[in-house]
Structure 1
């Protein structure tokens, strides 16, 4: 049974897409129907679906940013309300897309293509979306998020103003996010998945569903065994576990 993630922020559109998908692909199992990009990415890490249907414009992470993080880990189908300019870009990138409002015959074709890729004698790997995503992120308006520069956090009786670049790593801690610096640490109420969109992805690397590390603080990555790795940090004795999804960041 193929596992599928659907991310669409408009409730009626989301329900319609789920109903149409159930009719077009009854043997597929939807593991998550996300209302925003942050939940979509967090849910992807939890469920590791084989296929993701992503609305391009969503609160939090955009569909393009979620797709960039997914990379080659799953087949992606974009759901878009954009005009022919965007459609031409999708066609050039050989990527499946659905125009809103989604039509049943168009969904049938997209599903058929994905099933062929998944069930071929030699299964087709997910497409490399790098060039397409770079082009679309600059070409489509309103999809470039504002970067977080400062965080405010309670430390004892003080409210600290934290320069994000000085953070060694962020880590999920129940309802809070643990923010660790060289000299102290703090808790912020914003969940890690909601902080992700404002962090510079080139500088802050997600290495686990619950951990994002400042790449400039990484001293080394070491193998624990054949399957597991951990990161060693400068200025901190903690060792951070690297999940299988992110092990590729440290391969030769």
Structure 2
């Protein structure tokens, strides 16, 4: 089974980087991206994706808003340039937090963690 991932980030640069990394990960089957948090919110309600990666610092609905609504029902990866946000994001239910700028290794580790949370630990 492969993951269907939704990425929400108002920065085209970070959105593009995350999309490229996700597309290269062997456990990711599909990636859908949103720059607008409200468009993402509508999609999440309708499509109920497997995993969402959301930037915390966005205009309109920020990553904390997403976590407050879905954090206990949907696996989330939170990302931010502000490391102080990690504690709050985890308290709101994110599975993992990636500090920006993130590396390919950190991104892949986060995807692996979410995959294992959904499907159980993979054998090495």
Please classify the TM superposition score into its range, dividing by the shorter chain length: 0.7 to 0.9
Structure having the higher strand fraction is 1
2:115 aligned partner? 115
Retained in 1: the 8 A contact 2:79–2:99? Answer: yes
The offset of 1:26, in angstroms, is: 5.0
Query: How far does residue 90 in structure 1 lie from its aligned partner after superposition?
Result: 4.9
1:63 and 1:78 in contact (8 A); partners too: yes
Number of the residue aligned with 1:17: 18
* Larger RCO, structures 1/2 (Cα 8 Å, 6+ apart): 2
Considering only CA atoms, is the larger Rg found in Structure 1 or Structure 2? 1
The number of residues matched between the two structures is: 119
SS at match of 1:28: strand
Unaligned runs of 5+ in 2: none
Q: 1:64 to 1:88 in 2, by over 3 A?
A: closer
**Aligned Cα RMSD in Å?**
2.2
Instruction: Report what 2:6 is aligned to.
Output: 5
Residue 86 in structure 1 maps to residue 85 in structure 2: yes
Relative to structure 1, the CA distance from residue 25 to residue 36 in structure 2 (aligned partners, 3 Å threshold; closer, same or farther) is farther
Structure number with the higher helix fraction is 2
- Detail structure 1 runs of 4+ shifted over 4 Å in the superposition: 88-94
Q: Return the TM-score normalized by structure 1.
A: 0.43
CA distance change for structure 1 residues 38 and 114 in 2, over 3 Å: closer, same or farther? same
